[in-house]
């Protein structure tokens, strides 16, 4: 049971902050029923996700990769944002341009909960990127009518608009994430294992620039020892308590 005093401390820090940032990971999506990428629920057709989420895999068999992503999109389409997603959207409403949400998730649940100031470090599973002309569009159809899909503009082969293993994060998005970490007074880290880099470097960066770190997770992580406040529990339970109206 989280002591009320810890919840009150978190509330006071947020109330006194000029700028707040939040970093979310797979844990907050798992609470909406989306299998974590590395969990047993993420396996499909005897392939490891790591063998399907690479440029090499796409070059080798784009149809197989798209079958897997179409399956994932179908799972995500059935999921709903949870109270943790809605609490962060409420915090954005309160703070406006003084709040930034950084997510490692590609499921789009933050947007569906109402968040608009979202930096998507790993892209978005609902985006498609043309490998020929570079056009990026959103496509929410489930299932997709054609696999692999083709670009409506040039007919080129489309790929999922996500960051694969071995690929760099989008440069501008990462720059904005680092700036949000450097400029915030409080950083909420919710549902992330704190082992996936470079995202895991944001909390230490924020701390070096004087931010207080609030970690919300069901278990201890490599960040826990450096966090100023560790709240053990589900994001969907704890975020609404500290971001109370």
Q: H or E segment at 174?
A: helix 171-183
What phi-psi label fits residue 33: left (phi over 0), alpha (psi between -120 and 50 degrees) or beta?
Answer: left
Query: Per the residue annotation, which of 59, 85, 110, 122 is the catalytic one?
Result: 122
Are residues 95 and 184 in contact, defined by beta-carbon separation less than 8 angstroms?
no
Query: Is 122 known to be catalytic?
Result: yes
Sheet with 99-103, strands from edge to edge, namely: 118-120, 99-103, 20-24, 186-190, 212-217, 229-232
What phi-psi label fits residue 63: left (phi over 0), alpha (psi between -120 and 50 degrees) or beta?
Answer: alpha
Q: Tell me which residue of 241, 210, 206, 231 sits closest to 21, measured CA to CA.
A: 206
Are residues 24 and 214 in contact, defined by beta-carbon separation less than 8 angstroms?
no
The set of catalytic residues is 122
């Amino acid at each position: 049971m989280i002591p009320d005093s810890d919840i009150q401390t978190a509330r006071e820090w947020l109330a006194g902050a000029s700028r707040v940032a939040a970093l979310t990971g797979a844990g907050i999506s798992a609470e909406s029923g989306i299998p974590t990428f590395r969990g047993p629920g993420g396996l499909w057709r005897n392939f490891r996700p790591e063998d399907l989420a690479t440029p090499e895999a796409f070059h080798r068999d784009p149809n197989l990769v798209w079958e897997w992503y179409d399956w994932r999109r179908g799972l995500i389409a059935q999921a709903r944002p949870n109270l943790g997603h809605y609490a962060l959207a409420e915090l954005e409403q309160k703070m406006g341009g003084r709040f930034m949400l950084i997510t490692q998730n590609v499921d789009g649940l933050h947007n569906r909960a109402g968040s608009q100031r979202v930096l998507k470090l790993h892209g978005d599973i609902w985006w498609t990127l043309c490998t020929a002309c570079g056009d990026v569009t959103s496509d929410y159809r489930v299932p997709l009518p054609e696999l692999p899909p083709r670009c409506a503009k040039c007919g080129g082969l489309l790929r999922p608009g996500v960051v694969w293993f071995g690929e760099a994060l989008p440069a501008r998005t990462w720059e904005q994430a680092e700036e949000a970490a450097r400029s915030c007074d409080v950083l909420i880290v919710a549902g992330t294992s704190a082992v996936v880099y470079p995202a895991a470097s944001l909390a230490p960066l924020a701390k070096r620039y004087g931010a207080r770190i609030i970690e919300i997770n069901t278990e201890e992580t490599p960040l826990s020892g450096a966090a100023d406040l560790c709240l053990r529990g589900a994001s969907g339970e704890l975020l609404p308590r500290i971001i109370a109206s």
